[in-house]
A and B are shown apart, each in its own frame.
Chain A
Amino acid sequence: MKPLFTAALLICLPVQAAQLSGVVQTALVSADDSHSWQNDGTGLLRHDDNGIALEQSLIRLEQTLNTDFSLDIVANYHADGEQHLGLTQALLQYKPLSAGTVKFKARAGFFYPQMSLENLDTGWLSPYHYTQSAINSWLGEELRIAGLEMSLYSPGRQRRSPWSWELYVGAFRGNDPLGTLISWRGLALHDRQSLHNDRVEFAPYPSVVDPSRINHPDWVEPFHEIDGKTGGYAGLHLSYFQRFELRYYFYDNRANPLAVNAQRLYAWHTRFHSLATSYQLTAETKFIAQWMQGDTEMGPRGVEADFDAWYLLLTHHIAQHRLSLRLDRFMVREDDIWPWDYNDSDGRALTLSWRYDLSSQWQLGLEQHFNQSTVVNRATVGENMDTEQNQTLAIVQFRW
């Protein structure tokens, strides 16, 4: 705790240097007819209206406090959804200078574990697609670490080895509802990261909202602590030069699935493994993949669902152009005692994008997305279980 206390003191001290950056993306959308989960629908995409939309707007402040400590804060504005202005990340980083070959660093605050090799741009955006993979769409909307992460790491070059490694352990609170969305709505594909105070809507499935059934609201506020238990995760990064990278994480929020708060939000006991890899095939071409497998439980095995998702991504960068292709596969399978509550879903998606840098600040992009999904819960709101969705986005991006 001592470093944290020191850090808290340092925040009050005069600052040395700040970097302010930001990204704004405006989209011309040719949307699918299916209503988005944000508008009480069962569609898996963010947009359901044709026209102009604000895709992203965020500001990032990186503040060096002294040699060892820095602050990193990302604030987003979303025109859609329930909350519009808030933080998606706010963390204090401790990374002391060290002459050793095995070093220590830590982060505390509200942040993402570094599971993804897709979300490498400012503000956890993907430099490859606008519509993100099902896995990272879910992490963006429901997962955040409000806690402390510590790491031992060893940069290979300082050991004269091509191999570098990093070990992470983290402890957190305030992520008990994680699992709600994928159990009832299923996995979705989008780039709307939930804000720290956000509420994410979904269709009013009768088994969920009926007072005589689960009596749960048709929304979730993902960053609540419900049972007072601390969750944890561990991760390993391994890389060969900068050519190949592997990241494995195990996450367990250790929630008590019987705990429920006054809003009728449950603690969902959610655990998963995430394995991500990237391989630089040539100087221009990179392959990225991620696989996630886990389960979630709510109530006395009222909902117990296994989930499994992966994507394969190929990106090619030449001159000012970047072409990226991603294939997604995702499914949720239930094994619980409430036959009247449906959790099975599965889907696949193909996303192709072209992004063109006009300058270091301006970028144009086009994206074509197609998905095909089966969500059993759709039948309970009078919709066809099987749906196909198409979406085209034309995006102008400005960054500074």
Chain B
Amino acid sequence: MTYRWSLGWILLFACSGMAAELEVEVKAPDSRPLAHAVVYLLSDAPLPPVKPGTVAEMDQIKKQFKPHILVVQKDTQIVFPNSDSIKHHVYSFSPAKTFELQLYKEKQPALPFDTPGQVELGCNVHDWMLGYIYVVDTPYFAQTDASGVARIEAPAGNYRLYLRHPRIQDAPEALETPLQLGEKTRHRFVLQQPLLPSLQSFEEDTDEFSGYE
């Protein structure tokens, strides 16, 4: 079965062209690069599903979600380890995944994330904790680095390119664009609306005793 699927995908890629690279740059209105932004490609043609058994990790370290933003392909399993010695109580009310998990030292089973969209995470013990999971229905995704650049490798062809980040306020239609992916393609998003405040300072190193728990 797996071989038959693989053969099918190989044939599909052969039809749509050789592997190509897309470089996406994301700039805020003040021309500063936006790091950790999620970019991904969707296509009218069927795209390869996630490899069965794919597991991603959203850790809790020093009373923060690590990473702050995680992007996974639809149907990925996500495990929530607890690297702290105290309890966490992770929850989400987002339509893409509504759940809660009480996290102790013992490892919890992974949860499936099977609906595309943004999942906002909180902790009911540590109210300042905030994290995001973007579930995308494509294997062609990446996150921008500190210079605001992300690279996606995908077969050449016609796609729509999407951009997501929790601080972006631009209208959704400004965050997607049709894209013909050639051997070396570049795209730049320049945001028009100011970004929401970073609030990165909630993750500053503080004294380990920072409040009643």
- Chain A residues in the interface with B (C-beta under 8 A): 16-17, 19, 62, 64, 67, 95, 97, 99, 114, 120-121, 127, 153, 155-158, 160-162, 164, 241-243, 245, 280, 283, 286, 315, 317, 360
Contacts and interface: CB of A to CB of B under 8 A. Distances in A.
Interface stretch (B49-57, B85-93, B137-145): B85-93
Contacts of A155: 127-128
A16 B127 contact: no
A157 B199 contact: yes
A162 B199 contact: yes
Interface of B: 85, 87, 89, 91, 93, 100, 102, 104, 122, 124, 127-130, 196-197, 199, 201-202, 204-212
Given A155-B127, A158-B122, A315 B201 contact: no
22 contacts: A17-B87, A19-B87, A62-B87, A64-B102, A67-B100, A97-B100, A97-B124, A99-B93, A127-B209, A153-B127, A155-B128, A156-B199, A157-B127, A157-B128, A157-B129, A160-B199, A161-B199, A241-B199, A242-B201, A242-B202, A242-B211, A286-B207
B87 A242 contact: no
Contacts of B122: 158
Contact of A241 (B93, B201, B207, B212): B201
Given A95-B124, A164-B128, A360-B85, 18 more contacts: A17-B87, A17-B102, A19-B104, A67-B100, A120-B212, A155-B128, A156-B199, A157-B202, A158-B122, A158-B130, A160-B199, A162-B201, A241-B199, A241-B201, A241-B204, A242-B210, A243-B204, A317-B208
Contacts of A241: 128, 199, 201-202, 204
A113 B129 CA distance: 24
Nearest to A67: B100
B65 to A, nearest CB: 11
B91 A97 contact: yes
Contacts of B206: 242-243, 280, 283, 286
A364 B5 CA distance: 62
Residue among B85, B89, B201, B211 with most chain A CB within 10 A: B211
